Amino acid sequence: MHSSKNSLDCLLTVRNLSKRFNLNPEKVRSTSLIDVLRHMFLPNPEFERGSEENEFWAVKDVSFTLKKGESLGVMGMNGAGKSTLLKMLLGRLDQDEGEIEIAGKIGGLIELSAGMHPELSGRENIYNKARLMGVPRNEILERIDEIIEFADIGEFVDSPVKTYSSGMHIRLGFSVTVFFQTDFVLCDEVLAVGDFDFRQKCLNKINQLRRDRGFVLVSHSAKDISVFCDKVMVLHKGSSIFFGEPEKGIEIFYKLDRHMEVNEAMAISRSLQGETEHAAVEYHSSPLKQEDDAERSEDLSLEVKNELFWPEYHNKDLVGKFEMTWNLQKREGKFIYVPGSKFVMTIRYVLKQNIDNGRIGIPFFDEHGQMIFGPDTRRVEERFLLNNKGMKEISFDLPNLPVNEGRYWVTVSICDDPAQIFRKHLTFFDVPNETGQFGMIEVPDVNWSIG
């Protein structure tokens, strides 16, 4: 239930909030009156067990408070319950358990084009949507010119909305929603929409909103969460596994895997917060084997990869079985490197014959084929061991990778200098923005002097 009772300081209080959905609604609707009566008067364990198997808790036992001037970030993988939580806070979904207490007026930046009629003009839709939000007519008339200017849709404001591009829809919806006073605002990934110029306007406007209101931001962007939020709640399979400082919440978020059970995710959260004696969990990919192209395809054809990242080559008389492992996280089929963390790669292969001048190189590329850096064994003292036939295992260990946000590609080259005897494309990995730096390469700490 929603309630308006709350302290003067606390804008939002959520207690033990839960939402349940039926996985098989058709089966639920087809339950006969006889089955219901049998369940009431002759309890049957099989009946109850079947009922529970059809239930899915999108949000389970979530509690938190939000005060004036506070900003809360909500993180979690797809299916964690983020959007369901926001819809309950906005009153678009009824909770099955728990309480929501609201002090003041709530605004939502979730479905920006909701409430717009395609046959009406932009100006008419501004008025109608504001009225649906409960804004008095005189306030709408006072602010409509300011809204039109911010939306930057020009003379199209008097054209039917059905003629608008998707970008114009977004600009108009955002402008209407943020220009009328609310006590706190809920945002669901809206900071990622629109072109660059409009995004900057949105960011500035959000900054103004959050200073004297409550603010909840749902986002996968570590950069946006760290910039805009004082606290972070991490959801996993509907449960809150962390509530606290953004830096720690972001770290926990990047350690999660969607296949984890809630108790596993909670254990990782406690571990990273120092609440147990166990070290943080390390995630290792399964080996990328020589014949395993499905793991590393990324929807790029071999021809494209050969053009971007140098052609693959395999001298089968010299190099046999090959595999690679590294300590990157794997989330929803993608490898993730968390900035500042240790990077370890190990390659194993069989050298079938002795060679004269063995060398290993591991070039890193950006997604457009520009090589970023390429460490190799040229100056390693034990390099002579690469000349002898047999099983080889070589580890490449860095305290951290010097790369900023982006997508990068890794290739491995095995050489009998100057000839290459094996070159293989490995896979993409993604780097989220946690440093706040721009560009491709991470720059070490700079000493600034401002006079």
> Mind listing the pLDDT tens digit for each residue in 394-409?
888 888 888 888 888 8
Say how far apart CA 321 and CA 303 lie, in whole Å. Answer: 23
The more confidently predicted of residues 178 and 140 is: 140
pLDDT at 281 over 50: no
* Upper half-sphere CA count for residue 206 (Cβ side, 13 Å): 26
Identify the residue with better confidence: 436 or 270: 270
CA–chain centroid gap for 253, Å, is 8
The three-state secondary structure class of 211 is helix
User: What is the rounded average pLDDT of the residues 420-445?
Assistant: 72
- Is the Cα dihedral 120, 126, 131, 136 positive or negative? negative
pLDDT of residue 94: 92
pLDDT at residue 222 tops 80? no
Strands (E), 225-270: 231-236, 239-244
Q: Is 71 helix (H, G, I), strand (E, B) or coil?
A: strand
pLDDT for the residue 409: 86
Least confident of 29-43, 93-107, 144-158, 282-296: 282-296
Whether 366 contacts 440, CB under 8 Å = yes
Question: Of 410, 402, 289, 291, nearest to 361 (Cα)?
Answer: 410
Mind listing the domains of the chain with CATH numbers? 2-105+182-272 (3.40.50.300), 288-431 (2.70.50.60)
Residues 72-89: tens digit of each pLDDT: 999 998 889 998 998 898
The dihedral of CA 110, 126, 162, 92: what is its sign?
positive
Band of pLDDT at residue 259, cut at 50, 70 and 90: confident
Q: How many CB atoms lie within 10 A of CB 378?
A: 11
Distance CA 156, CA 153 (A): 6
Q: Round to whole Å and give the CA distance between 269 and 248.
A: 9
Per the prediction, the chain carries an average pLDDT of 78
Q: What is the pLDDT of residues 195-221, one digit of tens each?
A: 667 777 777 777 777 777 788 888 877
Q: What pLDDT does residue 172 have?
A: 85
Question: Three-class SS of residue 135?
Answer: coil
Judged against a pLDDT cut of 90, whether residue 28 lies above it is answered with: no
**Phi, psi for residue 77 in degrees, rounded to 5:** -70, 170
pLDDT at residue number 168: 83
pLDDT in tens, 111-150: 665 667 889 999 998 888 888 777 888 988 888 998 898 8
Q: Is the pLDDT of residue 293 over 60?
A: no
Percent of the chain's residues with pLDDT above 70: 74
| DSSP secondary structure, 328-370, as one string | -EEETTEEE--TTS-EEEEEEEEE-S--SSEEEE--EEETTS-
Residue 39 corresponds to which amino acid?
H
Q: Is pLDDT of 391 > 60?
A: yes
Direct distance between the N- and C-terminal alpha carbons of the chain, in angstroms, rounded to an integer = 56
The residue ranking higher by pLDDT, 244 or 222, is 244
Q: What are phi and psi of 443, to 5 degrees?
A: -95, 130
CA atoms within 13 A on the CB side of 361: 18
pLDDT of residue 321: 86
**The model's pTM:** 0.58
pLDDT band, residue 235 (cuts 50/70/90): very high
